[in-house]
């Protein structure tokens, strides 16, 4: 068997006289990188990305280099066209790749900037194969699911291993075992583990333990059947993580252990947690990190001193969770409020800001379809600040404009993100600059005063026709503005973008004469990217999505300033520090 594995590993191309097909990228060192595969059973949405990222954090803390990747079964090339109601938010990476929201979880937990190498869909895999087939890369072979499609998946993983020089690649397979579109991913994982050899791979099955209210006890049969499906694919799980509302009982864990051939010590309980940032401690407490190290035979790579320091820093952060002395409510007027995952990054950014400021941040979800100028005050009466988030299309737009107007007139702290930036411009143009027909051509294509429009200049600059500006871009900050103070007097900052429409440059002078300040713009381009109203307690908006780069131990300054301003409004008698000063104190990097 060892000879077969060595032969297999040495092959880098297809062959007409061999069934072995295992493409190897340049620079790949067999045995250097280990693999941890995480698959789900029973149902999707159990938190495979959260579990995988938390386990990866523990291994990273040990001084190991980790690289995550999410494998999605859908045929879309990326997540850009997916409806938030169906799939949650679209997370944009710095290189412009539109991905699943789990990539945001990995970036936040691991404090890494990921790229398109960390995300794959069936659409990407099949497109690559068809391109190679048309260019004769398969030497006349009939192209099949096995070995060619599975070979392309293995190549994707090995490319990531080689490029990242990772000790462990964490592979999350979307959906559940048994989904038709995931079958070839599961098979590719089995093949990769076989080819890489003993102790190269660790398989984790994340399952769900039901507890029907009518029965009053936990039932493991659905979990057992899901694990059986994985084993029928030729994969013996090494670890089984049991998700449940309450701690999983010893009896249930014993049933799962006997049924799956997994030692009881590696059948772990993962009950619901108040914060995902407490989960690493749960995994560490049961020793799962060292179990993985032993399974992968990489104990000799662990740096204990590094682990002690890293874990102490993490505990400094988690010790603050649940210790808030003040409470504020932030309203989020949006159009996808029935699905919280649509705003996952905003929720996380608010949590980061609240923990840093010692505030319990409550969120009030407001469906903007129902908001008008007449009822905006009533709907916002019990909030201490608002975030008007991104979105596309007509529905709910006028409601967001009404919310922006109420915030501007009443001194309610306001943060506009992307579409919320555009709605703030429209509101200001209509009610302060008296541009009666002010609107966006996205909302009203034939409007007479298109203060928000797709610019011909942008089309030339971007070379993308009418497509979106995507990914990380530098923002030039205007001196002596609120933004300039907030970002530590930096001349430029970097944020991530996902939009098509801009402030039409023909209206900039009129808007600025009315008192609106554009404190951030694209370098050498007439594209406005941050606005503020200096006379307001806190009124800022950005064409970017600042929430995408917020981190647990490095909260995003705009969100910290918003929550600090909301605290000032909620507790006026406590003489809290200026919101910008509070944000700078927290967000300034240590010297």
Q: pLDDT tens digits for 80-103?
A: 888 776 777 899 999 999 999 999
Strands 517-521 and 239-244: unpaired
393 pLDDT more than 90: no
Confidence band of 563 (pLDDT split at 50, 70, 90)? very high
Closest CA to 33 of 195, 230, 177: 195
Token digits of residue 123: 């659409």
pLDDT at 338: 65
With a pLDDT cut of 70, the percent of the chain lying above it is 93
**Predicted confidence (pLDDT) per residue in 374-386, tens digit:** 899 999 999 999 9
**Predicted confidence (pLDDT) per residue in 109-145, tens digit:** 999 999 999 999 999 999 999 999 999 888 878 899 9
Alpha helices in 262-395 (DSSP H): 279-285, 288-295, 304-318, 344-357, 376-379
**Predicted confidence (pLDDT) per residue in 26-70, tens digit:** 889 999 999 999 999 988 888 899 999 999 999 999 999 999 999
pLDDT at 587: 87
Task: Describe the chain by its helix, strand, coil percentages, rounded to 5.
Answer: 45, 20, 35
Q: What is the mean pLDDT of residues 512-522?
A: 95
Distance CA(207)–CA(41), nearest Å, equals: 5
pLDDT at 1: 42
12 pLDDT more than 60: no
pLDDT at 261: 94
Token digits of residue 36: 């941890």
**Predicted confidence (pLDDT) per residue in 172-183, tens digit:** 999 899 889 999
461 pLDDT more than 60: no
**Predicted confidence (pLDDT) per residue in 403-458, tens digit:** 999 999 999 999 999 999 999 999 999 999 999 999 999 889 989 999 999 866 55
Confidence band of 2 (pLDDT split at 50, 70, 90)? very low
Q: What is the DSSP string of 214-244?
A: TTTS-B-HHHHHHHHHHHHTT---SEEEEEE
Q: What is the mean pLDDT of the chain?
A: 91
Distance CA(493)–CA(476), nearest Å, equals: 7
Class of domain 326-587: alpha beta
Kindly list the domain boundaries of the chain, sorted by start residue. 2-316, 326-587
6 pLDDT more than 70: no
59 — phi, psi (to 5°)?
-75, -35
pLDDT at 508: 95
With a pLDDT cut of 90, the percent of the chain lying above it is 75
Confidence band of 590 (pLDDT split at 50, 70, 90)? low
Burial of residue 432 (CB within 10 Å: 0-12, 13-18, 19+) is middle
Token digits of residue 502: 């801009």
**Predicted confidence (pLDDT) per residue in 193-244, tens digit:** 999 999 999 999 999 999 988 888 899 999 999 999 999 999 999 999 999 9
Class of domain 2-316: alpha beta
355 — phi, psi (to 5°)?
-60, -40
């Amino acid at each position: 068997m060892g000879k077969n594995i060595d032969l297999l590993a040495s092959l880098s191309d297809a062959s007409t006289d061999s069934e072995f097909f295992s493409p190897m990228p340049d620079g790949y060192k067999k045995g250097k990188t280990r693999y941890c595969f995480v698959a789900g059973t029973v149902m999707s949405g159990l938190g495979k990305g959260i579990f995988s990222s938390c386990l990866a954090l523990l291994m990273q803390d040990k001084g190991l280099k980790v690289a995550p990747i999410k494998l999605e079964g859908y045929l879309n090339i990326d997540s850009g066209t997916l409806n938030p109601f169906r799939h949650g938010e679209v997370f944009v990476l710095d290189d412009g790749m539109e991905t699943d929201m789990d990539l945001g979880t990995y970036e936040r937990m691991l404090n890494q900037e990921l790229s398109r190498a960390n995300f794959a869909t069936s659409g990407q895999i099949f497109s690559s194969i068809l391109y190679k087939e048309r260019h004769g890369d398969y030497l006349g072979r009939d192209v099949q699911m096995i070995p060619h499609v599975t070979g392309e998946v293995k190549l994707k993983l090995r490319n990531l291993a080689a490029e990242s020089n990772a000790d462990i690649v964490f592979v999350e397979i979307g959906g559940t075992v048994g989904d038709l579109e995931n079958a070839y991913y599961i098979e590719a994982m089995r093949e990769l583990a076989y080819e890489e050899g003993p102790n190269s791979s660790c398989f984790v099955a994340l399952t769900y333990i039901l507890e029907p209210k009518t029965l009053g006890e936990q039932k493991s049969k659905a979990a057992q059947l899901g694990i059986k499906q994985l084993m029928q694919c030729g994969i013996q799980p090494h670890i089984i993580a049991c998700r449940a509302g309450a701690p999983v009982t010893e009896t249930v864990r014993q049933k799962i252990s006997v049924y799956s051939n997994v030692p009881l010590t590696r059948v772990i309980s993962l009950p619901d947690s108040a914060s995902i940032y407490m989960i690493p401690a749960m995994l560490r407490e049961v020793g799962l990190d060292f179990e993985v190290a032993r399974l992968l035979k990489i104990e000799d790579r662990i740096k204990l001193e590094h682990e002690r320091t890293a874990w102490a820093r993490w505990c400094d952060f988690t010790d603050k969770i649940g210790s808030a002395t003040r409470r504020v409510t932030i309203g989020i007027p949006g159009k996808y409020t029935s699905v919280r995952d649509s705003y996952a990054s905003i929720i996380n950014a608010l949590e980061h800001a609240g923990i840093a400021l010692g505030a319990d941040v409550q969120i009030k979800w407001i469906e903007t379809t129902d908001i008008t100028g007449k009822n905006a005050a009533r709907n916002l009466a019990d909030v201490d600040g608002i975030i008007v988030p991104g979105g596309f299309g007509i529905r709910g737009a006028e409601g967001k404009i009404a919310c922006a107007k109420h915030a501007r007139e009443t001194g309610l702290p306001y943060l506009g993100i992307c579409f919320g930036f555009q709605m703030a411009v429209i509101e200001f143009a209509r009610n302060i600059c008296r541009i009666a027909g002010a609107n966006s051509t996205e909302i009203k294509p034939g409007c007479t005063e298109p203060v928000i429009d797709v610019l011909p200049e942008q089309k030339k600059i971007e070379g993308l026709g009418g497509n979106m500006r995507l990914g990380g871009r530098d923002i030039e900050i205007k001196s002596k503005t609120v933004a300039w103070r907030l970002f530590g007097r930096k001349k430029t900052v970097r944020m991530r973008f996902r939009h098509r429409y801009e402030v039409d440059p023909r209206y900039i002078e009129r808007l600025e004469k009315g008192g609106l300040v554009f404190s951030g713009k694209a370098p050498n381009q007439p594209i406005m990217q941050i606005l503020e109203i200096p006379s307001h307690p806190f009124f800022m908006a950005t064409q970017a999505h600042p929430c995408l780069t917020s981190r647990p131990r490095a909260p995003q300054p705009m969100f910290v300033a918003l929550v600090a301003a909301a605290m000032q409004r909620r507790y006026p008698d406590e003489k809290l520090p200026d919101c910008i000063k509070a944000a700078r104190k927290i967000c300034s990097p240590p010297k």
